Chains A and B, each alone.
Chain A
Amino acid sequence: MMKLGGTRIATLGLLGAALIGLWKALELESWGFDGPGPGFFPQLMAGICVTLALVVLVFPGQAGETEGGDTDDVEATKESNRTFAIYIATFAVFALGAMYAGFVVTTMAVTIVIMRFAERRSWFASIGYGIACAAAGLVCFGWLLRVDLPEGPIERKFYTYVR
């Protein structure tokens, strides 16, 4: 029986994504009166993706070396697992914050969570650095360079003063 290693789990994920893609692509017209339709290419690619995923599932082959050291097993300790889990939680804060809270709140929250909880820095350093990152981003990018930043109440208030 095949051993379900990390490579095969990753391939199963890709296979799942390709199958979903194929299912949705099959709903599209593959050929119209003027030639290949919108479904032609997605169906072809999803089909190839499914086939290749099945091949890799059976014969995983040699891992790529382009990402130096990535595939090396890192010795997981209780502390490293904890740090990693907090970083994953930070990503959720990052995504949700960008949707609902704006740049300043998101940047401060992400910085404080990482520095205080994952890296065990002091509250003072965490909050101070969070404010510094948020302020630098808002002033340099949002105001001076007029780059679009996720907007929340703080950004809107700030822009009414400076723009």
Chain B
Amino acid sequence: MEALLGGFATTLTLDNLFYCFVGAFLGTVVGILPGLGPLTTIAILLPITFKMDVTSAIIMLSGIYYGVAYGGTVTSVLMRIPGEASSVVTCLDGYEMARKGRAGAALGIAGLGSFFAGTVGVIGISFLSPPLAELVIKFGPAEYAMLMLAGLTMVTYMSSGSLPRALLMAAFGLLLGTIGSDPLNMTPRLTFGILALGDGVNLVPLAIGLFGLSEVLFMARQKPDDMKVLPPPSHLLGFMPSREEARRSVGPVVRGTFMGFLVGLLPGGGAVLASFLSYGMERKLSKHPEEFGKGAVEGLAGPESANNAGTAGAFVPLLCMGIPANAVTALLLGAFIIHGVTPGPTILERQPEIFWGVVASMYIGNVMLLILNLPLIGLFVRILDIPRAYLTPMILAVCLIGVYSSNGNPADVVISVIFGFVGYFLRRHGFDLGIVILAYVLGPIFERSVRQALAISDGDPTIFLHSTISTGFAIVAVLLLLAGLWPKKKKAAG
């Protein structure tokens, strides 16, 4: 506690507060704007921080990272364009809420839920870091492989469609993830000799194609009268969630927070997996599962909280073990090292002021994010008043900027258009596209873990059942597959 108070003393200087604000603000803007991902922004700003004080620099860079988690929500709710992979789930019910005139409530719930999740996540970092770091270090390739398998199986089990369809979408996503260079020896795979596919199908064109561009096609298909969005309430408090919405959000926010933090601890897209798992769990627990995908408040509150708690959780392996959980935290690790900070088990002893300074800045950063975002909701929801004739060109321009700037490659725009059509066709026939994104994100980690485990065991597949942890995950995966088949049989019998 004393150390944490010391961290607050470090953060609550005028300079550090300013950098914390700049980081949170930039993060939110980056999340809203297409084209500037957290990775690009941190990479651009990294040289600027070289002359800054080490703690201030790291506080600002961290602020960008967790600010993005909230900013990505805005475009997902209002335009169905996911800013990042973990915002994909937000599109499902957040966008439907916006169409029903509840955009303000959706953004309000997301903001408050994110604040709660972020705060609990930071408390978790403060008190649970050392024991959690010890647990996570027990994960080897076999454990990771089985964890990924269990995670994917859980999401397919929780999908509303039939199990074979959901599994097909997962396999399709995993297959897409194998396009490009082999992650271990760089051999080109499934590229058909096309140079543009050398680095594989990138996430941004895939997600924007499957969700953003396919939505434009759906809008085009509808009659203007059918697609009218209910206007949001004009009075100030109309943007706040109703009492009923708030009541229905409490459980999902709490569950999403705890699940998100725990899953976020695991390297490799923890926040993404957490948001999907939370969505599936809320649908299974809901008394009104039929409302999911049509604007269920639980379908927004749970995943948004899980996403933000997962972002906080990802700092535990980074700070305590020096293991980055994803590409952005890998860049943050680089920033730490450039500034002479070596994250790892000894950081608490050698540079406690930096560790606790970053943790304290997260508390303050979460408050700043809330103050920054709630008053802007009224402004954001005005986007929904724009008629289709004006909105679709704007969405296409935003998609063009986002897709092209992610890699500076015009071929990505063609890829996104192809996935726009694929997404439209699959959505029209009831295939769950969220699973494709999740499988695509987890695919490379899954593959690497499977191959490393098999290489260690010299091809013996029983390595996946050698430890209690991996056996446990394997059992969960099998049980979920069997459970996924069970209700269908019962229905058929009935």
Cβ-closest chain B residue relative to A83: B220
Contact at B292–A66, with CB atoms within 8 Å? yes
In which size bucket is the chain B interface?
35 or more
| Chain B positions within 8 Å of A90 at CB level | 396
Cβ-closest chain B residue relative to A130: B393
Q: At the interface, is chain B mostly helix, strand, loop or mixed?
A: helix
Any B CB within 8 A of the CB of A153: no
Cβ-closest chain A residue relative to B457: A35
Pick the residue among A46, A68, A77, A92 that contacts B293 (CB under 8 A). Answer: A68
| Chain B positions within 8 Å of A99 at CB level | 410-411, 413-414
Contact at B404–A98, with CB atoms within 8 Å? yes
Contact at A70–B290, with CB atoms within 8 Å? no
Write the nearest CB–CB distance from A119 to chain B, whole angstroms.
4
Interface with A: B249-257, B308-316, B384-392, B466-474, which one? B384-392
Write the nearest CB–CB distance from A70 to chain B, whole angstroms.
5
Any B CB within 8 A of the CB of A41: yes
Write the nearest CB–CB distance from A107 to chain B, whole angstroms.
5
Given contacts A62-B161, A65-B160, contact A94 B425 (CB under 8 A): no
| Chain B positions within 8 Å of A130 at CB level | 393
Contact at B417–A49, with CB atoms within 8 Å? no
Contact at B226–A24, with CB atoms within 8 Å? no
Contact at A49–B292, with CB atoms within 8 Å? no
A142–B401 Cα gap in the complex (Å)? 9
| Chain A positions within 8 Å of B432 at CB level | 64, 66-67
Pick the residue among B164, B213, B218, B294 that contacts A56 (CB under 8 A). Answer: B164
Contact at A87–B413, with CB atoms within 8 Å? no
Contact at B394–A133, with CB atoms within 8 Å? yes
| Chain A positions within 8 Å of B5 at CB level | none
Residues 34-66 of A, flagged 1 when their CB comes within 8 A of B and 0 if not, give: 111111111001101100110110011111111
Residues 129-141 of A, flagged 1 when their CB comes within 8 A of B and 0 if not, give: 1100110010001
Q: How many residues of A are in contact with the other chain, CB < 8 A?
A: 82
Any A CB within 8 A of the CB of B375: no
Write the nearest CB–CB distance from A116 to chain B, whole angstroms.
10
Write the nearest CB–CB distance from A123 to chain B, whole angstroms.
13
| Chain A positions within 8 Å of B55 at CB level | none
A13–B220 Cα gap in the complex (Å)? 23
Contact at B189–A71, with CB atoms within 8 Å? no
Any A CB within 8 A of the CB of B287: no
Write the nearest CB–CB distance from A99 to chain B, whole angstroms.
5
8 cross-chain CB contacts under 8 A: A64-B160, A64-B431, A67-B430, A71-B427, A75-B223, A137-B400, A145-B36, A148-B404
Q: Which residues of B contact A (CB under 8 A)?
A: 33, 35-36, 92, 96, 159-168, 171-172, 174-175, 178, 182, 184-185, 187, 189-190, 192, 213, 216-218, 220-223, 226, 290, 292-295, 388-390, 392-394, 396-397, 400-401, 404-405, 408, 410-411, 413-414, 417, 420-422, 425-434, 447, 450-451, 454-455, 458-459, 488
Q: Which residues of A contact B (CB under 8 A)?
A: 6-7, 9-11, 13-14, 17-18, 21, 24-25, 28-29, 31, 34-42, 45-46, 48-49, 52-53, 55-56, 59-71, 74-75, 77, 80, 83-84, 86-88, 90-92, 94-95, 98-99, 103, 106-107, 110-111, 114-115, 118-119, 121, 129-130, 133-134, 137, 141, 145, 147-150
Instruction: A41-B447, A115-B390 are known; give 18 further A-B pairs, CB within 8 A.
Output: A10-B425, A17-B175, A35-B458, A35-B459, A38-B184, A45-B174, A46-B175, A49-B172, A59-B164, A63-B165, A68-B92, A71-B429, A87-B392, A94-B413, A95-B413, A95-B414, A145-B33, A148-B404
